[in-house]
Every structure is written in C-alpha cells, then in structure tokens.
Amino acid sequence: MPTDFTATRARFHLPEGLVYLDGNSLGPLPDDAPAALDHTLRSEWGELLIRGWNAAGWMEQSSRLGDRIGRLIGAPAGTVTVGDTLSVKVHQARAAAPELRPERRVVLSDSGNFPSDLYMAQGLLGSLDRGHELRVVEPDEVADAIDDSVAVLMLTEVDYRSGRRHDMAALTAAAHDVGALAVWDLAHSAGAIEVDLAGADADFAMGCTYKYLNGGPGSPGFIYVAEQHIAHVRPALSGWLGHEAPFAFDLDYRPDPGITRMRVGTPPVLAMAALDAALDVFDTVSMADVRARSIELSERFVAGVEATCPDLELASPRDPDRRGSQVSFRHPEGYAVMQALIARDVIGDFRAPDLMRFGFTPLYLDEADIDRAVEILADLMATDAWNQLAYKERKAVT
C-alpha cells in the first residue's frame, strides 16, 4: 500500500500557520510523544521506580529501538544500538575501525564532513599517538584518494551544508577493493532517504535521532556495526553496560557478544520513550515513498525559488539523485534573509558563510507548504524586507 502522507501529517503537532522546513535540524513533536513520555514518567518511573529497569524493559530499550531504526537503514536485527550522543558514537566507530586494519595509518575523510566528526577524529588520533594521519580531501576527490595506505574511509553520506549525497555503495566498494573499511555518518540520511547498509556492505555507521527521525531535542544517537565485525570490535569506551554481565560487577571488562558491546553507560530512558513514539509513525511508511515525495517537494521548491528569486543561487546539486532531503540557496546576506523568513513563520536555518538551508520532510509537509514558503521568500526578496538591522544580529544557534 502506498504511504498515506495525509495520515502521517495528522500525527505531528505543528503550530498553526507555520511552514516548517527545518526537520533536517530538529523534527517536530509527534502527537503521541507526550502521552508516551507521560506514561514513562508517571507509570514507570513514578510507580515502578528502580523496578522499571526490569519490569518496563528499560534495559532492552537500546537494542529494541536499535532494531526499529535498523529497519529504516537496511541493518539486520541485532546490528544497531541506541544511546549517547552522535559525537560519542562517531568516536566509538572511529576508535574501533582502525584497530581492524592495524598495519595502516591513514584515516580518509572529506571537507564536507560535519566538523564534530573531524574534531572527534583529531581528538582520537591525537590520544592514540600511533602515527595515524587524518587526510581530508574535497568531496569530489574522495574516490581518487582511496589507496592502499587507507585504513578507514570516514564520511557523512549527506553533506549538512549543501545536501550533496555521496554514493555509499560505490565508495564502500572502492574502500574494500584496497582493503580499507568504510564508516558512514547517517545524521542527514536516517529517516530521510533510502539507506541500505547491509546492501552497501558498510562496515560501521552512526546517526542521530532528533532530525528526520523526530525523537526530540537531545534524543540519542545510534551505531551500526556490520554483523561480521561485531565479535572483533574492541569497544574503546568500555563502559559497564557494554559488559557481557554488567551485574556480575567483575573487575575486568569482557564485552557483550553482540551489538550491546557498543553501549556505554545508563541509557536516556525518558528521551528514548519519546523516540519510541516517534518511530511508530515510520511503521506506516515506506522509505521509497518518502524519498520519492521528498524529491517532488524539493524540486517544486527549487523551481519556485529560481523562478521568483534571481538573487538566490542554488548551492545544492541540481540532480535530486545527488542530494539528500535538503536544499540550500546561497546569498551574501543569507543570515538576515533567513531571520526575516522565520519572522514570517517559514522556518529554515543558516550555515556560515552564506547558506540558507531548507529541509523537505514529506511526513508532515505538502505542496501548499512549499508554495507558501516560496511566495513569502519571493516577497521578502522583491521588497528587500530582510534588509533590517534586527535580522542581522547573530544568535547563538543559527
């Protein structure tokens, strides 16, 4: 049955009159999340207290939600676990992967990667102090830079600024051809586009749940380890909840035999309750339909903006197959234009130095939203209404 996007839209709370084009940063509130959270707060925490770990299944939450997310990213059951922030999950994958290629020293990434991923790699390689080199090339140079010095290729599939999408299957195959491993950050992919980790033979992947998966601000990250690697991965963050028998309280660490070894400490039970409710919406959805509809909506937006706003330049690949689910336009005063747009209830965001980002999330957006966003943006540009001091003052979060 094709996905019913009218039905999915009815399952989100969106303030009246708002056009929300920022689900690529923070998804909206699913209608069922408050009751789910309330239940966890009052009936579980409130009534069960410590018994909740056993009686309410809090202990299994990380792997149960991992399997739910796994279904959306082509990961078999038992290969994904949820918890910690994405940056922590990046660290775990990056610490584990080079150890599987101990004779090599190069970690290859690109300048389209999210800075936190590069910072985490710099921090990690610095503390490893084993002569590893983080080699960062331009996104379109990655394929040519894969050679047999590379231990690990570490990329974000969809560029957070331009929405440019790497070819995961092709680059993973190229990495494997020279004996390297491939690690993918799915922050802008999970819940947005079709991902087939097992089909692409990815070695590790990680992502967040507060963007397209709508888990709420600060909802936890996840990590995937390919089945064949799990037993060989030495968790660098060897916390007690990744231990084979946490309640044996042994003095020595023995990793859990499965993906739970990538769990670190106490999971964020309340945040996971909201995420669980958010994932219910995806039970009614085909990712192929989401992808097709997101392309329709983004193409409509690009055509509308290009027809009405000559001062805005498309900063994303024109071919929708080469993009994720977001589109960016460039303007020297992009920050002010975006602030003016937000003041008129069309929400996107801004990434320095000049990119206005717009996310297309078919679960709760339709053509009328797109047309309204284009109309308001065109009016702002035609009247220069964005050109006011109040819109130029930078806030902490852009």
Ligand X SMILES: Cc1ncc(COP(=O)(O)O)c(C=O)c1O
Among 75, 152, 181, 187, binds ligand X (CB under 6 A): 187
Q: Check residue 149 for interaction with ligand X (CB under 6 A).
A: no
Is 395 catalytic? The answer is no
> Which one is catalytic: 12, 114, 212, 301?
114
Interface with ligand X, residue 85, by CB under 6 A: yes
Determine the interface stretch with ligand X among 112-120, 121-129, 166-174, 311-319 (rule: CB under 6 A).
112-120
Does 69 bind ligand X (CB under 6 A)? Our answer is: no
Residue range at the interface with ligand X (CB under 6 A); choices 92-100, 114-122, 193-201, 259-267: 114-122
Based on the shown chain and the rule CB under 6 A, indicate whether residue 156 belongs to the binding site for ligand X. yes
Of 82-90, 98-106, 146-154, 172-180, the segment contacting ligand X by CB under 6 A is 82-90
Catalytic residue among 210, 212, 301, 350: 210
Sequence-ordered alpha helix ranges (H) in 202-255? 227-230
Is the sign of the CA dihedral 172, 175, 180, 182 positive or negative? Answer: negative
Residue 208 interacts with ligand X (CB under 6 A)? yes
Question: Which residues does residue 165 pair with via DSSP β-bridges, in sequence order?
Answer: 158
Closer to ligand X by CB, 85 or 398: give it: 85
Give the x/- contact pattern for ligand X in 159-178, rule: CB under 6 A.
Answer: -x------------------
- 114 part of the active site: yes
From CA 249, how far away is CA 187, in angstroms rounded?
35
Closest contact distance (angstroms) between CB of 86 and ligand X is 3
**What SS3 class is residue 159?**
coil
DSSP assignment of 373-396 equals: HHHHHHHHHHHTTT-SHHHHSPPS
CB of residue 374 to ligand X, shortest distance in Å: 26
Task: Single out the residue of 64, 67, 306, 90 nearest to residue 186, CA to CA.
Answer: 90
Determine the Cα–Cα distance for residues 61 and 248; give it in Å rounded to an integer. Answer: 20
Q: 210 an active-site residue?
A: yes
Q: How many CA atoms lie within 13 A of 255 on its CB side?
A: 17
**With CB under 6 A, what is the number of residues at the site for ligand X?**
13
Nearer to ligand X, 327 or 370 (CB): 327
Which regions of the chain does DSSP assign to beta strands (E)? 12-13, 19-20, 29-30, 80-82, 106-110, 133-137, 150-156, 181-185, 204-207, 222-225, 313-314, 326-330, 346-347, 349-351, 355-359
Q: Does 87 bind ligand X (CB under 6 A)?
A: yes
Instruction: Compute how many other C-beta atoms are within 10 angstroms of the C-beta atom of residue 388.
Output: 12
Q: Catalytic amino acids? A: 114, 185, 210-211, 357
List contacts with ligand X (CB under 6 A). 85-87, 114, 116-117, 156, 160, 185, 187-188, 208, 221
